[in-house]
Amino acid sequence: MSRYFTEDHEWIDLDGDIATVGITDYAQGQLGDIVFVETPEDGKQFAKGDEAAVVESVKAASDVYSPVSGTVTEGNSALDDNPALVNEDPEGEGWFFKLELRDAGELDGLMDESKYKKFVESL
Amino acid sequence: MSETNETELETLTLPLDGWHRAHGGRMVPFAGYWMPVQFDGIMAEHQWTRESAGLFDVSHMGQLHLSGDDVVAALETLVPGDIAALKPGRMRYSLLLADNGGILDDLMVTNAGDTLYMVVNGAVKWDDIAHLREYLSDKITINHLEDQALLALQGPKAVDALARLVPGVTDLVFMRGAGFEWQGHALWISRSGYTGEDGFEISLPAEAATAFADALCAEPEVKPIGLGARDSLRLEAGLPLYGHDLDPETTPVMADLGFALSKRRREEGGFPGAERILAERENGAVQKRVGLIIDGRQPVREGADVLDAEGNMVGRVTSGGFAPSVGKPIAMAYVPVAMAEPGTAVQLGQRGKIHQAKVAAMPFVPHRYVRAGASK
């Protein structure tokens, strides 16, 4: 299983052609206390860059974009009752949604963990 | 010379700027100044203030001394409060009104002995000063206390912490102030604030602000609190925020601030917009500021539409967010008077989604002021 990172501070785990998407620890730190997450419904189709989820902190609402194109297979229902999971375990239990990848080529050019770490340090 | 950036020039720093950064404050531009939006996190800071004591830097606010012969009568031509009735050391919430009765600012005015001490909102303080200068005669002196910092210590344990530094403050009760001294510096302290909790506001010389903030935060009850929690605390306390819940399009009656229209002033009139405001008070205004509790968990924020049963836009949300002490999203909104009764169901539209809400009495969290005559 390989993990990719985007400049929008999302992570993607690839297992076969199923991609699990979440926001990074850096992103949750910037957002602050998360009070609400809206995840997409099964079967929803996204092109890369489409608005896929909404995450709301005490201060503000933010969109989460689909980092790749595909069809949603599952939203993380645990976030309905416990949105703070995104603060507690952003790169694990606090994942947002899974989708069936349409074009693996879209992963080209995304960062690996060490590149993303350097990217965050440069901000 | 190095390159200059216009936005950097526009955002000013306050006396505690370095202190906030050293304490991990996340700084954002607010009302023309760099200010801390949070330290440990808004939720934790909010709860800390409700349970212990939070230190807020509100030095961006405008502090004014008004003096001169007949200064009280002069100020009463611009605000609807009974300023003449204020005894020395007493303060009152009031409103700077435009000729049409619209609200130019909300403010605190104190009888500080020789002068009237006013605290006005940071974002409109220059407009306020211009307005006062235009409408008050040249015999009235307006002294803008730009070298004074302003701190607020809020929460049930604020009195314990502050009394260790300034023992006399235990004699103050809600909405009263007095002069004190700390390490040779003159302080003006009032028992007042913007969180619904017991607490104090402390005006002090800018050069003493860092040492005083350090001394307060050395007390175990006290932590620094940012603007984010200040906003969630005041929203739960039902206190309006100027520029959001109040503006020149709103009147005191629409804003449900009838308590700011003092009895003598209602009877005598003689404040800006008196005719319209007194008529609204008699017959009701078209709209009214109310509290809302939102169904579900998603916050509904400023700018959302209030909809009637047919989906027509009939009002607007002026503040909203997740309320940590309530455990639900809450909001303030202007709605038609027919929809203003607590318990009324309303629909809200935000980013294409409909949210269900109920009108709720404010404050959402009970005030815990220490008032005169109350048993402790």
Q: Please write down the HEC assignment for all residues of chain B.
A: CCCCCHHHHHCECCCCHHHHHHCCCEEEEECCEEEEEECCCHHHHHHHHHHCEEEEECCCCEEEEEECCCHHHHHHCCCCCCCCCCCCCEEEEEEEECCCCCEEEEEEEEECCCCEEEEECHHHHHHHHHHHHHHCCCCCEEEECCCEEEEEEECCCHHHHHHHHCHHHHHCCECEEEEEEECCEEEEEEECCCCCCCEEEEEEEHHHHHHHHHHHHCCCCEEECCHHHHHHHHHHCCCCCECCCECCCCCCCCCCCHHHCCHHHHHHCCCCCHHHHHHHHHHCCCEEEEEEEECCCCCCCCCCEEECCCCCEEEEEEEEEEECCCCEEEEEEEEEHHHCCCCCEEEEEECCEEEEEEEECCCCCCCCCCCCCCCC
The confidence band for B2, taking pLDDT boundaries of 50, 70 and 90, is very low
Which CATH number goes with the domain that contains B337? 2.40.30.110
Is pLDDT above 70 for B288? yes
Q: What is the pLDDT of residues A77-117, one digit of tens each?
A: 999 999 999 999 999 999 999 999 999 999 998 999 999 99
Tell me which chain B residues have a C-beta less than 8 angstroms from the C-beta of A39: none
CA-nearest residue to A31 within chain B is B41
Q: What is the pLDDT of residues B295-338, one digit of tens each?
A: 999 999 999 999 998 999 999 999 999 999 999 999 999 999 99
Q: What is the pLDDT of residues B135-147, one digit of tens each?
A: 999 999 999 999 9
Which CATH number goes with the domain that contains B209? 3.30.1360.120
What does the pLDDT read at residue B9? 59
Across chain B, what does the average pLDDT equal?
A: 96
Per-residue pLDDT averaged across B130-157, rounded? 98
User: Per the structure block, which two tokens stand in for B172?
Assistant: 């103050």
Instruction: Specify binding-site residues of B.
Output: 201
CA distance to partner chain A, nearest, from residue B337 (Å): 29
Is pLDDT above 50 for A45? yes
Q: Pick from B172, B207, B236: which residue ends a domain?
A: B236
Per-residue pLDDT averaged across B341-353, rounded? 96
The verdict on B44 and B151 lying in the same domain is: yes
Per-residue pLDDT averaged across B85-102, rounded? 98
The verdict on B314 and B204 lying in the same domain is: no
Is pLDDT above 90 for B6? no
Q: CB B164: neighbour CB atoms within 10 A?
A: 14
Q: Which domain holds residue B290?
A: 286-360
The verdict on B215 and B317 lying in the same domain is: no
The CATH number of the structural domain formed by A2-103 is: 2.40.50.100
Cβ contacts of residue B343 below 8 Å, gap of 6+? B358, B359
User: CA nearest B242: which of B110, B93, B107, B117?
Assistant: B107
Give a yes or no: residue B119 inside a domain: no
Are residues B278 and B312 in contact, defined by beta-carbon separation less than 8 angstroms? no
What does the pLDDT read at residue B269? 96
Nearest to A38 among B43, B44, B298 (CB): B298
User: CA nearest B201: which of B56, B26, B25?
Assistant: B56
The verdict on B207 and B317 lying in the same domain is: no
Instruction: Specify binding-site residues of B for substrate.
Output: 201
Q: What is the share, in percent, of chain B residues with pLDDT greater than 70?
A: 97
Nearest to B228 among A54, A58, A61 (CB): A58
Three-class DSSP category at A106: helix
Q: Pick from B205, B236, B267: which residue ends a domain?
A: B236
What does the pLDDT read at residue A59? 85
What does the pLDDT read at residue B375? 56
**Model ipTM value:** 0.89
The verdict on B290 and B226 lying in the same domain is: no
The DSSP H or E segment spanning A26 is: helix A25-31
The verdict on B183 and B49 lying in the same domain is: yes
Q: How many domains does chain B have?
A: 2
CA distance to partner chain B, nearest, from residue A32 (Å): 6
What does the pLDDT read at residue B4? 47
The verdict on B155 and B51 lying in the same domain is: yes
Give a yes or no: residue B297 inside a domain: yes
Is pLDDT above 60 for B152? yes
Tell me which chain A residues have a C-beta less than 8 angstroms from the C-beta of B321: 58-59
Give a yes or no: residue B198 inside a domain: yes
CA distance to partner chain B, nearest, from residue A35 (Å): 7
What does the pLDDT read at residue B133? 98
Give a yes or no: residue B113 inside a domain: no
Is pLDDT above 60 for B1? no
The verdict on B232 and B300 lying in the same domain is: no
Give a yes or no: residue B94 inside a domain: no
Give a yes or no: residue B33 inside a domain: yes
Give a yes or no: residue B91 inside a domain: no
Give a yes or no: residue B52 inside a domain: yes
Nearest to A36 among B38, B44, B297 (CB): B297
What does the pLDDT read at residue A84? 96
CA-nearest residue to B302 within chain A is A60
CA-nearest residue to B37 within chain A is A59
What does the pLDDT read at residue A1? 65
Are residues B109 and B117 in contact, defined by beta-carbon separation less than 8 angstroms? yes
> Does residue B363 have a cis bond before it (omega within 30 degrees)?
yes
With 0-12 / 13-18 / 19 or more C-beta atoms within 10 angstroms meaning exposed / middle / buried, residue B282 is: exposed
CA distance B173 to B51: 20
Sketch the domain layout of chain A as residue ranges: 2-103
CA distance A24 to A18: 19
